[in-house]
Amino acid sequence: MDPLDVISNIDKVIPYYQPIFSADEHKIIGYEVLGRILKDNGEAVSLGPFFKGNDIPDEYKIEVDQKVTAEAIRQFIISDQQGLIFINKDARLLMLDHGESFLEQMLSFKTQGLQLNRIVLELSEKTFQGDFEQLVHVLLYYKTYGIKVAIDNVKGNIGELDRLSLFSPDIIKVDLSQLRNDAGNKMYKDILFSLSVLARKIGASLLFEHIEINYQLQFAWLNGGRYYQGYYLRHPSNEFVQSNILKDKLKERCQNFIRYEKKHLEAGYQFAEDLHKEINRILTLLKKQTQDYDQLLTGLADAFTDKCFRLYMCDENGFQVTSNILKVHGKWEIHERFKGKNWSWRPYFLENIIRMRINKKGLLSDIYSDIDSGEPIRTYSYPYGDGMYLFIDLSYEFLFEEESLLY
């Protein structure tokens, strides 16, 4: 896009609005402002390449950005919108004057009826090379005026997590475009799950963007997404729309997700209940033959050879008291070198021990990647008694056959 064509036709630069929907009320809670330029044929062309172009002068970008922002806020005020308005800013351009021009522009509209707590500054900071602490200081200053901060273009890179918390963002925008290309990418899903955990800990809401298919919407719902945005829901347009425009559709989708998730959870609980009974039955028989823990586990391994690939027992402090009974090339082997190892450092280990001790029932873990094989597995933990706990690692092959357990 020729920057001179944009600047010389700045009167044709207009804002477009992409709705953002809420998970709780299933209605539009705000709009992201996007820049467009009208061509002679009436087509509205995205200004994304203009703002992202490295060879375009900063003063051109700032002038066009201020034009888009000013017109968007005027329309926002005139139409008496009750939600939020998301204003995109490049962190580098924002900090050229230490954020003063943006704040001045927002304050100028305050006298016209704009409530600053309706403003969400949507910031892209990935390429920011300036004083990071100064940027954080400016954003915290904005927040004293009620302006909210959203961090944009988050794809779940682990290196971003440390920086994100420093911003104290109100909203974290998560890009789901990669999930469309590779719905089975478990590592990507795990990183996005980490983002959801971080958001909860720092008090931020998750906004999942680039939702283009139903699977992405379901993923966003399942992973704590409070807000949704994307072409699957609504394309950008040059006007605001009725806030309940998708209420019935989203409610229906949500009910489908709830039914699916309940079915999945019920299947997991039922499997755990059945496995608990089966272990009780087999252990009762095996204990009549031997009291040696490794021999007991070998007997269990033979009984559950189609389900698991590893068994071991620990005490309530996480110290392993048995060998690993491990399936290698289809045959069970006893690996004594694991005796005495401590596993209390594992996430949720001690919490699960306490839960089993109190409830006297086994627990089925979520899916996670095995440290040794890297394959997705689940672990069933069983309160053996006498302060001992049995752990059975279910194989990927078994989970794959039991579709309801591979989730």
CATH number assigned to the domain comprising residue 314: 3.30.450.20
CA distance 260 to 266: 10
| pTM of the shown model | 0.86
Question: Do the domain assignments include residue 251?
Answer: no
Q: Would you say residue 226 has pLDDT above 80?
A: yes
Per-residue model confidence (pLDDT) at position 196:
83
Q: Is residue 293 part of a domain?
A: yes
Query: Do 79 and 133 lie in a common domain?
Result: yes
Residue 397 lies in a domain: yes
* Listed residue (145, 137, 93) closest to 120, CA to CA: 145
pLDDT > 90 in the chain, percent: 75
Q: Residues 150, 278: one domain?
A: no
Q: What is the pLDDT of residue 161?
A: 62
Residues 130, 168, 155, 347: is their CA dihedral positive or negative? Answer: positive
**Confidence grade of residue 1 (pLDDT, cut at 50, 70, 90):** low
| Residue reference for tokens 């591979």 | 406
- Is residue 325 pLDDT above 80, yes or no? yes
The confidence band for 38, taking pLDDT boundaries of 50, 70 and 90, is: very high
- Joined tokens for residue 399: 């989970």
The answer to whether residue 144 sits within a structural domain is yes
> 282 with 346, same domain?
yes
Same domain, 165 and 312: no
Identify whether residues 216 and 311 lie together within a single domain: no
* Tens digits of residue pLDDT in 231-245: 999 999 999 999 999
Final residue before a domain boundary, out of 231, 248, 282: 231
For the segment 303-308, the average pLDDT, to the nearest whole number, is 96
Closest CA to 174 of 226, 139, 100: 226
Answer with the one of 231, 262, 282 that is the final residue of a domain.
Answer: 231
Query: Within this chain, do residues 71 and 189 fall inside the same structural domain, yes or no?
Result: yes
Question: CATH number, domain at 164?
Answer: 3.20.20.450
What is the Cα–Cα distance from 25 to 244, expressed in whole angstroms? 9
Question: Would residue 256 count as lying in a domain?
Answer: no
Contacts of 119 (CB under 8 A, 6+ apart): 84, 85, 87, 106, 146, 147, 148
Residue 326 within any structural domain of the chain: yes
List the one residue out of 385, 378, 359, 363 whose CA is nearest residue 280. 385
Domain-located, residue 236: no
> CA-to-CA distance for 207 and 229, rounded, in angstroms?
7
> Rounded distance, CA 64 to CA 10, Å?
7
Q: Which of 203, 231, 259 is the last residue of a domain?
A: 231
pLDDT tens for 78-130 read 999 999 999 999 999 999 999 999 999 999 999 899 999 999 999 976 667 78
Q: Are residues 401 and 288 in the same domain?
A: yes
Residues 93 and 218 reside in one and the same domain: yes
Residue 206 shares a structural domain with residue 287: no
Q: What is the β-pairing status of strands 84-90 and 28-38? A: parallel
**Could you read off the pLDDT of 182-219 as tens digits, one per residue?**
655 667 777 787 788 888 888 999 999 999 999 999 99
Confidence of residue 383 (pLDDT cuts 50, 70, 90): very high
The residue type of 233 is: L
Find where tokens 């100028």 sit: 108
163 has pLDDT over 80: no
Same domain for 276 and 222? no
Domains contained in the chain, number: 2
SS3 readout for the chain: CCHHHHHHCHHHEEEEEEEEEECCCCCEEEEEEEEEEECCCCCEEECHHHHHCCCCCHHHHHHHHHHHHHHHHHHHHHCCCCCEEEEEEEHHHHHHHCCHHHHHHHHHHHCCCCCHHHEEEEEECCCCCCCHHHHHHHHHHHHCCCCEEEEEEECCCCCHHHHHHHCCCCEEEEECHHHHHCCCCHHHHHHHHHHHHHHHHHCCEEEEECCCCHHHHHHHHHCCEEEECCCCCCCCECCCCCCCCCHHHHHHHHHHHHHHHHHHHHHHHHHHHHHHHHHHHHHHHHCCCCCCHHHHHHHHHHHCCCCEEEEEEEECCCEECCCEEEEECCEEEEEHHHCCCECCCCCCHHHHHHHHHHHCCCEECCCEECCCCCCEEEEEEEEEECCEEEEEEECHHHHHHCHHHCC
Domain hosting residue 317, numbered range: 271-405
Do 277 and 361 lie in one domain? The reply is yes
pLDDT score, position 153: 67
Let me know if residue 255 belongs to a domain: no
Residue 356 token pair: 């089993």
Q: What's the rounded Cα separation, in Å, for the pair 156 and 196? A: 10
Specify whether 286 is located in the same domain as 222: no
Query: Is residue 318 packed enough to be buried (19+ CB in 10 Å), middle (13-18) or exposed (0-12)?
Result: middle
> What are 337-372's pLDDT values in tens digits?
999 999 999 888 999 999 999 999 999 998 888 888
Please give the pLDDT value at position 166: 78
Summarised one tens digit per residue, pLDDT across range 242-288 is 999 999 999 999 999 999 999 989 999 999 999 999 999 999 999 99
Structure token digits, residue 172: 């974290």
Q: How many CB atoms lie within 10 A of CB 232?
A: 17
